[in-house]
Amino acid sequence: MSRNKEKMKLVIQRVQKAKVVVNKKIVGQTGQGMIVFLGVEESDQEEKIEPTVKKLLNLRIFENDKKKFDKSVLEIKGEIMVIPQFTLFADCSKGNRPYFGQAAKGEIAKVFFEKFVAVLKKSGLKVETGVFGAKMKIEAVNDGPVTIMLSEFPLNR
């Protein structure tokens, strides 16, 4: 039964390169691949991590020789930057100040984020991250631009 809540959200951008800076220090940088903004909802289950990572790694958002989206980040041996992003759950339906009540609390979201990154690293690709809870400066050279939003999808796909 639906609880009328959103689930884990990913905003994926195809990039030529990406860099994250915290306190004027580079904490992560990648080359061609993708930057993934990850939002975790309060009721997200760890069992969704592996199928979500599989979906992410196999998304065919990179072009083949005919300029058609036909290659995954795995096929191009791309690099991935993952950024924790609770603001993906902004609810602006009332007033002008966003409400973030559906986003997982910090302790829960941090553990989920770390497990998501650990599963992603099993791919063998270079995976870099932002710093959970830090104020980050993110530089990305978008490629396309291509931006894909991925949220809840059936686990049996």
Burial class of 117 by CB neighbour count within 10 A (0 to 12, 13 to 18, 19+): buried
pTM: 0.91
Which residues on adjacent β-strands are paired with residue 69? 63
| Confidence label for 43 from pLDDT (cuts 50, 70 and 90) | confident
Radius of gyration of the chain from its Cα atoms, rounded to whole angstroms: 16
Burial profile 118-136: b = 16 or more Cβ within 10 angstroms, e = fewer: ebbeeeebbbbbbbbeeeb
Query: Which residues carry out catalysis?
Result: 87
127-152 pLDDT, tens digit each = 999 999 999 999 999 999 999 999 86
Domain boundary assignment for the chain:
9-150
Give residue for tokens 């999808």.
Answer: 153
HEC string of 28-83 equals: EEECCEEEEEEECECCCCHHHHHHHHHHHHHCCCEECCCCCEEECCCCCCCEEEEE
Give residue for tokens 């020789």.
Answer: 65
Fold of 9-150: D-tyrosyl-trna(Tyr) Deacylase; Chain: A; (3.50.80)
73-105 pLDDT, tens digit each = 999 999 999 999 999 999 999 999 999 988 999
